[in-house]
Structure 1
Amino acid sequence: MIPVDIIVLTLIIICALGALAAKDLMVAAIVIGAYSFLICLLLAVMGAVDVAFTEATVGAGVSTVFFVATVFQTTRRTKD
């Protein structure tokens, strides 16, 4: 049986690579939010619940909202 932390770490690496490979800014912002949530989950599995809660509120919550709001304020110059 594979430990949960190895599975979460694999998903974190996939999200990191997905954020780097994303062509659309909205997709990148959402994948970064998922990355932050997975970091929160990994911290909770490791036993750092207080740090996980802070990461969930700041990293996965507020930062993702700011990223998405910023992307909505931008316009496209070309239609790719």
Structure 2
Amino acid sequence: MNGAVAQDYVIAVALVLVTVSATAAALTRDPMRQAVVLAMLGLCLAVLFTLLQAPDVALSQVAVGTVVTPLLILLTVRKVRGTSSGGDDGRRR
């Protein structure tokens, strides 16, 4: 098997992984689980960008798509669920 053909197969597998993880992220209803699936999508995209010889884009994807965005989603969901579940607006009687 030629090296270029093997590389094409690896890229095709990475594309399938990106497609599956993107579909899973879109179909997941719970925001906490969706953040985790979104992190997996970011990691799959970073691998794909590395295989396509774009290491700078892959590093940006790891930083933003795999770490920062899911972390912000998790913190936001935690804050929203924390303030809406208590029913108390913080005022004393």
1:15 aligns with 2:17: no
1:39 aligns with 2:18: no
Offset, 1:31: 0.7
- Choose the corresponding residue for 2:11, options 5, 11, 31: 5
TM-score between both structures, scaled by the size of structure 2: 0.73
Question: Which runs of structure 1 show a deviation greater than 3 angstroms over 4 or more consecutive aligned residues?
Answer: none
In structure 2, stretches of 5+ residues that fail to align are 1-5, 86-93
TM-score between both structures, scaled by the size of structure 1: 0.83
Between the two proteins, the alignment pairs up a number of residues equal to 77
In structure 1, stretches of 5+ residues that fail to align are none
What's the % identity of the aligned pairs? 25
CA RMSD of aligned residues (A): 1.9
